[in-house]
Amino acid sequence: MRDLLRLLALMRPHTGWMLLGLLASLATLVANVGLLTVSGWFIAAMAVAGASGAPINYYTPAALIRAFAILRSAGRYVERLVTHDATFRLLASLRVWLFEHLEPLAPAGLQRERSGDLLSRIRADIDTLENLYVRMLIPVAVAVLGVAAAVAFLAVFDGGLALLTLAGLLLAGVALPLGIQRLSARASAERVTRAAALRTALIDGVQGMGELAVYGQAPTQARLVDGLSTDWVAAQRRLAELQGLSQALTGLLANLTLWGGLILMVPLVTSGALDGPGLAMLALFLLACFEAVAPLPQAFQLLGGTLVAARRLFAIVDARPAVIEPEAPSPVPDGFALVLDGVSLRYGPDRPRALRDISLRLGPGEALALVGPTGSGKTSLVNLLLRFWDYESGSAQLGGQELRLFRGSELRRHIAVASQDSHLFNTSIRENLLLAAPDAKDEALRQACELAQVHAFIADLPDGYDTQLGEAGVRLSGGQARRLAIARALLRNAPILILDEPTEGLDPTTANALMRAVREAMSDRSLLVITHRAADLAAMARIVFLEQGAIIDQGTHRHMSQHCLPYRRLVERLGDAASAAGTIEPRRDPPCRV
Amino acid sequence: MPDTGTSSSADWLKRERLPIRRSLLQVVALGLAGGLLLIGQAGLLASLADAVILHSATLAGLWPLLWGLLAVFLLRAVLIWAAERTAFAAAARVKLDLRRRLFAQLQRLGPARLAGASSGELSSALLDNVEALEGYYARFLPQMALAALLPLTILVFVLPADWFSGLVLVLTAPLIPIFMALIGKGAETLNQRQWRRLAILSARLLDGIQGLTTLKLFNASRREAQVIARLSEDYRHSTMAVLRVAFLSSLTLEFFASVSIAVVAVFIGFRLLGALGWGPIDFRVGFFVLLLAPEFFQPLRNLATQYHARMEAIGAAERLVEILEQPFAESVASPRPVPPGERFHIAFERVSFAYEPGRAALEELSLEVQPGQRVALVGPSGAGKSTVVSLLLGFLVPDSGVIRINGEPLSEIDLAAWRSQLAWVPQRPRIFHGSLRENILLGRPDADEAALRRAARLARADEFIERLDQGYDTQVGERGQGLSGGQAQRIALARAFLRDAPLVLLDEATASLDAESEDLVQAGIDELARGRTLVVIAHRLSTVRDADQILVLDHGRLVEQGDHHTLLARQGLYAGLVHAYGVAA
């Protein structure tokens, strides 16, 4: 219920449109019921008048019939337009709301789950919320108002009839949907779990197809998939049968109400309490008024899913950001020297420390390389510098000011990054670059790309810098994407530049040229490079070796090669033919960690 | 139709209907029977109203009519329920059958041809796209037939009862096909243009969320939020412009339906009064016709609401047709057994292969692997190393040239039997949903516990498995515990040990494992190579150094071969690859 209220609160700016949609829906319902009811009364009254020769005013009802006919068509049209318009408005503000609320969480809050999963869930959840207004709010409001009006109208003629109809409407609109929902609870749950099982088997079957084929297990997997598919359909069948039952019973309830109504009304006619045309009118009214509750079963059905979707979105959005931004304005740093003194970091109170007691200095004009095996804390160190994660002890300073005092956006003005997961957006190359400096001139773009050794490639493309990237455009290789991200970071012209594996996937000549250009461009600023290429390491002024979150040793390449055994072993292992030949292939699927 | 993809998948959908034609006919028959009952119901109601209003009948005399009505009501409910069941069963058959055929097709295409596709997308196709066809078969197709049949049936009863009202309905009847076309057209424009737009919008939002960290790094998130707001607003404007036109078709349908009812009612009324001076009519007949007038248009309105099911199905079918129509290599009709011998001599003779025409992966490649040799495949990315392995595994078939196993062409050998002679350790082994035991047993499902544990030990996998709480019964894979890259490699090695095949194909991992894992994996590989023929796509210097023969590939050709020292001395591509890195050999 709280989630529902919160959802409604999000929709408040669009109240006007939403009410207009409701009004149009109501008008359509009234017109539809009115058309049949008045028609019924009209022909019965005319027949009675014809038989008895009594005078009758036929202008008013005939005009009403025509008016209802037109109102019904126009109302339906307006209703559909207005409700769609309102839905689009709602979705637009939901999207922006979601985006703005996710922003403070990135990247820490969004990493906990596999990002693909998270994204597809967010997408599906937003789509689900699309239903809320048209398929839930409107039907419920129309039903409540419609039922009240119908019962009030009937009460004018006969209390018993009004009660009977109220009972019929409540049975069809509330009790039946709830009952069906209860009956289908198990099948509903099974449908979800069985679909998940089938999806797993399918993904296993596709991703593991090679292994299954080689080990002769392909037919087994095919049988497994078929069996799970059959199970899934069986759960669906139970739901479909209940669905059919609900549909049949809804119609039956309307008809039974009419049946009971006739039994109540005939004696009224006999006794003269109700005239003949009144009976014709009310009979048609009884049938027509069930339209008010017809969409309720669907609304009930969607409600559960919608609330779950809303709850999930709220849960994501409500996550506490990993870093609390300071209230006070950011201090002005005195220079751009980064100094870490005994810094530690952990990703959660119950998690081991990802960085322990790190002390490090990086001043302008310095070039520092960070090495260490996977999981040794290199990325954590970058996360700390960018204020994506908070440090738990020690001191970290930029230009003599503690990092904690800076707002994230202020701090990141001074640091440019090209990381392994630097995202290239599905727009043009130019727009991707301009992200770093919206006002940069073409000349500046070209310079940055030349430094990053990617200008020649871009210039060769038919559309040059206007080439579209991504799904609808050109797909870049891993190396090209990497260099474009580096160009973007260079364009930022920040006093501190961090590059994460800048040469991975590049041939040796290009890699050397890139690193030389970057070192020259940054000669009077600070450069931090995470790399595993021996040639890059040898050229850096200072090397820091990390293992299990701690600095094992730091110094020049020569010093490290002589005195740091793990470093020497690492460099030797790096001499694998693959990296040397640039054969590391772009990642196709995630590693097998689930 | 502007889009050939749309029309061909519409045709395909129609063809797929054939096996369930009988069930669909049943659904239509049930719907038609329901329609007849509805007509009967209208007749009973009209008689009852006539009796009460004009003939002062009392309740006592009406019971036969009332019982009749009750029977009709109940019967109609049963028919509706039966129709729903039958319709679902028919659609379920299509779905099950289709999913079976699609999965079989994927298996025929094989892993090498599917390598470019995302497994998530493919499983969605088999799951969600197949699901999207349900509405088409279960609801749209029957409704399509009923939209034509039910109005005609009603006319058959109304025309003899009152020719004038029948005429009013008849005049609107020829408009029915026009309505259908209009509705279809409206839905189609909406679908094709707007859904694509919506997809772009939704992709943009996801792109923004995926790139949030990058946006944040450049302090550009606020700008992106504004862009999303603007795009959403643009989308609303353009969609509403389309909808204003698209909804006109249903407006016309509504309008004709409402006006026909109004005209029928008003004329019946005036004729009953006798005010027109022509066409006297019985109240019973008039009421009967009035009750049926809305029902005349109801099937059409239902069809209009089901139309999106057709569009959805057509959209979903496109991808399915694409999968089903992909060409695959036919297997040989009567394959030969695997040539005898404990070990295999492998020869590629001028083998060419291209994934797409004009983009050769291998060009007239010739190479030889002697029995018992340890062979390393080396070369830059795209040189064709993986293609060589895929050809050996039978995932691909050469476009030209021959692969010979002990002199016999591989293409004529029974593939399953050939595969049973080899073990394969891919770069990123798949860990299947299930227990660790089941995952290792993949290598030889009938192996006993002792063999299983021996294989795990040889693969250096036993120590980490036994440290787990549930040991070999630990659930892993999609919905189970995650394994590190090194652990997954060792499970794959255990599979290979369990299989105990004479030929081992191995694609070394490029991802840097932690030092401990790496040593263990390497030890496992050395163990596995003992006494077997090993073909390895090498990414590590140590592997290359120990190889009996190094085959250096470039652009799909064999450019150098020999052992490490010979090749280094030649100062060719291999030496260049090693030296460029400044690593002492």
Residue B336, strand partner residues: B413
Task: Round the average pLDDT of chain A to a whole number and report it.
Answer: 87
CATH code, A335-414+496-580: 3.40.50.300
Whether B559 and B475 share a structural domain:
no
Query: B40-71: buried (b, 16+ CB within 10 Å) or exposed (e) per residue?
Result: bbbbbbbbbbbbbbbeebebeebeebbebbee
Whether B284 and B182 share a structural domain:
yes
Of residues B166 and B427, more confidence is placed in B166
With a CB cutoff of 8 Å and minimum separation 6, the contacts of A157 are A268, A274, A278, A282
pLDDT of residue B191: 62
Residue B337 lies in a domain: no
Whether B518 and B492 share a structural domain:
no
Domain A421-493: which CATH number of 3.40.50.300, 2.40.50.100, 3.40.50.720, 3.90.1330.10: 3.40.50.300
Q: Fold identical between A2-318 and A335-414+496-580?
A: no
Closest chain B CA to residue A471: B203
pLDDT of residue B307: 80
Residues A24/A268, Cβ–Cβ less than 8 Å? no
Whether B249 and B358 share a structural domain:
no
Whether B466 and B552 share a structural domain:
no
Does A100 contact B at CB distance below 8 Å? yes
Q: Distance (Å, rounded) from C-alpha A6 to C-alpha A4?
A: 5
Summarize the confidence of residues B309-333 as an average pLDDT: 85
Whether the pLDDT of residue B3 is over 50: the answer is no
**pLDDT tens digit string along A274-331?**
999 999 999 999 999 999 999 998 898 888 888 888 888 888 888 888 888 888 888 9
- Give the closest residue to A287 by CA, choosing from B149, B298, B303: B298
Q: Distance (Å, rounded) from C-alpha A287 to C-alpha B291?
A: 10
Query: A524-563: buried (b, 16+ CB within 10 Å) or exposed (e) per residue?
Result: ebbbbbbbbbbbbbebbebbbbbbebbbbbbbebeebbee
Minimal C-alpha gap between B348 and chain A (Å): 20
* Range with lowest mean pLDDT among A410-414, B259-263, B326-330, B549-553: B326-330
Whether residue A270 and residue B59 make contact (CB cut-off 8 A), yes or no, is yes
Q: Distance (Å, rounded) from C-alpha B11 to C-alpha B443?
A: 44
Task: Round the average pLDDT of chain B to a whole number and report it.
Answer: 86
Phi, then psi, of A378 in degrees rounded to 5: -60, -50
**pLDDT tens digit string along A224-279?**
999 999 999 999 999 999 999 999 999 999 999 999 999 999 999 999 999 999 99
SS3 B242: helix
SS3 B365: strand
User: Is domain A2-318 classified as CATH 1.10.3720.10?
Assistant: no
Q: Distance (Å, rounded) from C-alpha A509 to C-alpha A330?
A: 43
Of residues B277 and A64, more confidence is placed in A64
Whether B136 and B166 share a structural domain:
yes
- Give the closest residue to B80 by CA, choosing from B158, B156, B146: B146
* Range with lowest mean pLDDT among A84-88, A314-318, B409-413: A314-318
Residue B332 lies in a domain: no
Does A270 contact B at CB distance below 8 Å? yes
CB pairs under 8 A between A and B: 466
Does A470 contact B at CB distance below 8 Å? yes
Burial class (CB in 10 A: 0-12, 13-18, 19+), A185: exposed
- Give the closest residue to A81 by CA, choosing from B469, B55, B245: B245
* In chain A, domain spans: 2-318, 335-414+496-580, 421-493
With a CB cutoff of 8 Å and minimum separation 6, the contacts of A91 are A126, A129, A130, B232
Q: Distance (Å, rounded) from C-alpha B220 to C-alpha A431?
A: 12
Whether residue B273 and residue A65 make contact (CB cut-off 8 A), yes or no, is no
Query: N- to C-terminal Cα distance for chain A?
Result: 34
Whether residue B544 and residue A577 make contact (CB cut-off 8 A), yes or no, is yes
Q: Distance (Å, rounded) from C-alpha B139 to C-alpha B24?
A: 10
* Range with lowest mean pLDDT among A50-64, A451-465, A483-497, B190-204: B190-204
Q: Distance (Å, rounded) from C-alpha A503 to C-alpha A512?
A: 8
Q: DSSP for B159-217?
A: HHH-HHHHHHHHHHTTHHHHHHHHHHHHHHHIIIIIIHHHHHHHHHHHHHHHTHHHHHH
**pLDDT tens digit string along A119-143?**
667 777 887 888 888 889 999 999 9
Residues A105/A318, Cβ–Cβ less than 8 Å? no
Segment (H or E) for B381: none
Strands B374-378 and A550-555 turn out to be: unpaired
Closest chain A CA to residue B276: A50
Minimal C-alpha gap between B295 and chain A (Å): 12
pLDDT of residue B6: 57
- Give the closest residue to B547 by CA, choosing from B535, B559, B555, B558: B535
Task: Provide the pLDDT confidence category of residue B4 given band limits of 50, 70 and 90.
Answer: very low
pLDDT of residue A590: 30
Domain boundary among B500, B532, B563: B500
Residues B47/B284, Cβ–Cβ less than 8 Å? yes
Domain boundary among B469, B500, B531: B500
Whether B394 and B491 share a structural domain:
no
Q: Distance (Å, rounded) from C-alpha B108 to C-alpha B408?
A: 23
Inter-axis angle of helices B21-55 and B59-114, nearest 10: 160
Residue B251: list chain A partners with CB under 8 A: 73-74, 76-77
Inter-axis angle of helices B283-324 and B163-172, nearest 10: 20
Name the CA radius of gyration of chain B, rounded.
Answer: 36
Its sign, for the CA torsion B116, B117, B120, B121, is positive
Torsion of CA B129, B131, B132, B137, to 10 degrees: 130
Whether B10 and B115 share a structural domain:
yes
Q: What's chain B's length in residues? A: 585
Question: Counting runs of H as helices and runs of E as strands, what totals does chain B give?
Answer: 23, 12
Query: N- to C-terminal Cα distance for chain B?
Result: 65
Q: What are the C-alpha distances in Å from A158 to residues A30, A41, A152, A154, A155?
A: 21, 17, 10, 6, 5
Q: Distance (Å, rounded) from C-alpha A256 to C-alpha A252?
A: 6
Does A365 contact B at CB distance below 8 Å? no
Minimal C-alpha gap between B148 and chain A (Å): 22
Query: Residue A531 corresponds to which tokens in the numbers above?
Result: 């790399």
Q: Distance (Å, rounded) from C-alpha B293 to C-alpha B154?
A: 9
Q: Distance (Å, rounded) from C-alpha B190 to C-alpha B140?
A: 18
Q: Distance (Å, rounded) from C-alpha B529 to C-alpha B458?
A: 12
Whether B241 and B134 share a structural domain:
yes
Summarize the confidence of residues B63-70 as an average pLDDT: 97
pLDDT of residue B330: 74
Residues A73/B258, Cβ–Cβ less than 8 Å? yes
Q: Distance (Å, rounded) from C-alpha A392 to C-alpha A356?
A: 10
CATH code at B143? 1.20.1560.10
Whether B229 and B362 share a structural domain:
no
Of residues B190 and A382, more confidence is placed in A382
Its sign, for the CA torsion B90, B93, B99, B104, is negative
Inter-axis angle of helices B449-458 and B515-529, nearest 10: 120
Whether the pLDDT of residue A591 is over 70: the answer is no
Residue B338 lies in a domain: no
Residue B255 lies in a domain: yes
A343, HSE (Cβ side, Cα atoms, 13 Å)? 27
pLDDT of residue A575: 52
CATH code at B523? 3.40.50.300
Residue A106: list chain B partners with CB under 8 A: 212-213, 216
Q: Distance (Å, rounded) from C-alpha A486 to C-alpha A483?
A: 5
Biggest CA–CA distance in chain A, Å, is 122
Whether the pLDDT of residue B570 is over 90: the answer is no
Q: Distance (Å, rounded) from C-alpha B582 to C-alpha B585?
A: 9
Whether B215 and B253 share a structural domain:
yes
* Range with lowest mean pLDDT among A311-325, B40-54, B223-237, B469-483: B469-483
Whether residue A43 and residue B66 make contact (CB cut-off 8 A), yes or no, is no
Whether residue A40 and residue B268 make contact (CB cut-off 8 A), yes or no, is no
Burial class (CB in 10 A: 0-12, 13-18, 19+), A70: middle
Whether B452 and B564 share a structural domain:
no
Provide the ipTM: 0.86
Closest chain A CA to residue B516: A373
Minimal C-alpha gap between A440 and chain B (Å): 14
Summarize the confidence of residues A369-392 as an average pLDDT: 86
Question: Which range marks the domain in which residue B455 is found?
Answer: 429-500
Q: Distance (Å, rounded) from C-alpha A182 to C-alpha A167?
A: 20
Summarize the confidence of residues A582-587 as an average pLDDT: 33
Torsion of CA A400, A402, A407, A412, to 10 degrees: 60
Q: Distance (Å, rounded) from C-alpha A284 to C-alpha A33?
A: 8
Task: Provide the pLDDT confidence category of residue B363 given band limits of 50, 70 and 90.
Answer: very high
DSSP code, position B513: P
Q: DSSP for B320-352?
A: HHHHHT---PPPPSSPBPPPSSSS--EEEEEEE
Q: Distance (Å, rounded) from C-alpha B258 to C-alpha B521?
A: 77
Residues A357/A343, Cβ–Cβ less than 8 Å? yes
| Most confident residue range from A37-51, A120-134, B300-314, B510-524 | A37-51
- ∠ CA A287-A290-A294, nearest 5°, is 140
Domain boundary among B473, B500, B527: B500
**pLDDT tens digit string along A527-578?**
999 987 777 888 888 999 998 889 989 999 889 888 888 888 777 666 543 3
Whether the pLDDT of residue A592 is over 70: the answer is no
The domain tally of chain B equals 3
* Range with lowest mean pLDDT among A18-22, A104-108, B313-317: A104-108
Minimal C-alpha gap between A106 and chain B (Å): 6
Summarize the confidence of residues A8-19 as an average pLDDT: 90
* Range with lowest mean pLDDT among A311-325, A440-454, B341-355: A311-325
Phi, then psi, of B549 in degrees rounded to 5: -145, 135
Q: Distance (Å, rounded) from C-alpha A199 to C-alpha A486?
A: 38
Whether the pLDDT of residue A214 is over 80: the answer is yes
Whether the pLDDT of residue B59 is over 90: the answer is yes
Query: Residue B408 corresponds to which tokens in the numbers above?
Result: 């016999």
Whether the pLDDT of residue B581 is over 70: the answer is no
Q: Distance (Å, rounded) from C-alpha B507 to C-alpha B521?
A: 12
